[in-house]
Amino acid sequence: MTDETGDISLKDTNLITSSNRQAGFVSLNSALIRSGVGLAIASGIGYLGWRKGALTHSGAFGALVSGTVTAGRGGYGRAALLVGFFVASSLLSRLPERQELSFSSFTAKGGRRDAWQVAANGGASTLVACFGEGQRYRLSYLGALAAATGDTWATEIGRRWGGTPRHIFTLQPVDPGVSGGITLTGTLATVAGGGFIGLLGIVSGLIDPAFRARKRELLLTGAISGVFGSLVDSLVGATIQEKRWCDDCQKRTERPIHTCGSDTSVVGGIRGVDNDVVNLICTISGSATGWAIERRSNRQD
Binding residues for Zn ion (CB under 5 A): 246, 248-249, 258, 260, 262
Nearer Cβ to Zn ion (18/265): 265
To the nearest whole angstrom, how small is the minimum distance from the Cβ of residue 258 to Zn ion? Answer: 3
Alpha-carbon distance values, 207 to 8, 57, 67, 85, 157 (Å): 16, 31, 17, 17, 31
> Under 8 Å CB-to-CB from 270, ≥6 apart: which residues?
240, 241, 242
Nearer Cβ to Zn ion (203/249): 249
Nearer Cβ to Zn ion (176/209): 176
The single-letter DSSP state of residue 253 is: E
To the nearest whole angstrom, how small is the minimum distance from the Cβ of residue 257 to Zn ion? Answer: 9
- Amino acid residing at 100: E
Nearer Cβ to Zn ion (5/265): 265
Whether the Cβ atoms of residue 139 and residue 221 lie closer than 8 Å to each other: yes
> Strand 251-253 to strand 243-246: parallel, antiparallel, or no bridges (unpaired)?
antiparallel
To the nearest whole angstrom, how small is the minimum distance from the Cβ of residue 268 to Zn ion? Answer: 17
Q: Is residue 24 packed enough to be buried (19+ CB in 10 Å), middle (13-18) or exposed (0-12)?
A: exposed
**To 5 degrees, how large is the angle CA 213–CA 11–CA 22?**
140
> Strand 265-268 to strand 251-253: parallel, antiparallel, or no bridges (unpaired)?
unpaired
The single-letter DSSP state of residue 100 is: H
Nearer Cβ to Zn ion (249/277): 249
Angle of the 31-51 helix axis to the 76-93 helix axis, nearest 10: 10
To the nearest whole angstrom, how small is the minimum distance from the Cβ of residue 251 to Zn ion? Answer: 6
Nearer Cβ to Zn ion (44/256): 256
Q: Is residue 149 packed enough to be buried (19+ CB in 10 Å), middle (13-18) or exposed (0-12)?
A: buried
To the nearest whole angstrom, how small is the minimum distance from the Cβ of residue 59 to Zn ion? Answer: 26
Nearer Cβ to Zn ion (15/260): 260
Whether the Cβ atoms of residue 255 and residue 264 lie closer than 8 Å to each other: yes
Q: What is the rounded distance in angstroms from the CA atom of residue 207 to the CA atom of residue 230?
A: 29
H helix or E strand, kind and range, residue 231: helix 215-239
Nearer Cβ to Zn ion (1/260): 260
To the nearest whole angstrom, how small is the minimum distance from the Cβ of residue 116 to Zn ion? Answer: 23
To the nearest whole angstrom, how small is the minimum distance from the Cβ of residue 56 to Zn ion? Answer: 23
To the nearest whole angstrom, how small is the minimum distance from the Cβ of residue 249 to Zn ion? Answer: 3
